[in-house]
Amino acid sequence: MKPRFLLDEHIDAAIQRQLRRRDFRLEVLQVGGTNTVPAGTSDQDILVWAGANGFIVVTEDRSTMPVHIADHLTQELPFAGLLWVRPNVSIGRVAEELYLIWLASEAEEYRNQALYIPL
């Protein structure tokens, strides 16, 4: 199964548009968008929703998210993975990186992993 991405609400929506233009089969949702959790949802609830629905979370939140990930894993909740966007990376570069991840890998490779992108 191909990776599916959930962009947190602080990730620019242009990334979602760019990914959908590259390949209509790529599944990418944004917090606050259709068929996902509403904007303002806590990090812990985002992780629960993403894990239950098989979406890898894409975020820039390096301050509170690590604590929530540790709690999530300690509770042995489903965790599809998390990708932290490095500071000062362009929207185009993030979109390209996510597209390459989708193109060249399987969702299972990111299960219970928290990685930085670009790699």
| Domain-wise residue ranges, the chain | 11-111
In sequence order, the 6+-apart residues with CB closer than 8 A to the CB of 84 are: 59, 60, 61, 62, 65, 114, 115, 116, 117
pLDDT exceeds 90 at position 6: yes
Q: What is the mean pLDDT of residues 5-33?
A: 95
Separation in Å, CA 87 to CA 5, 21, 60, 62, 84: 19, 24, 8, 10, 9
Q: CA 71 from chain center: how many Å? A: 18
Separation in Å, CA 23 to CA 5, 58, 98: 14, 18, 12
What's the whole-model pTM score?
A: 0.94
pLDDT exceeds 90 at position 81: yes
Q: Which pLDDT band, with edges at 50, 70 and 90, does 60 fall under? A: very high
Burial status of residue 86 (CB atoms within 10 A of its CB: 0-12, 13-18, 19 or more): middle
DSSP lists the bridge partners of residue 83 as: 58, 115
pLDDT exceeds 90 at position 62: no
pLDDT exceeds 90 at position 28: yes
pLDDT exceeds 90 at position 77: no
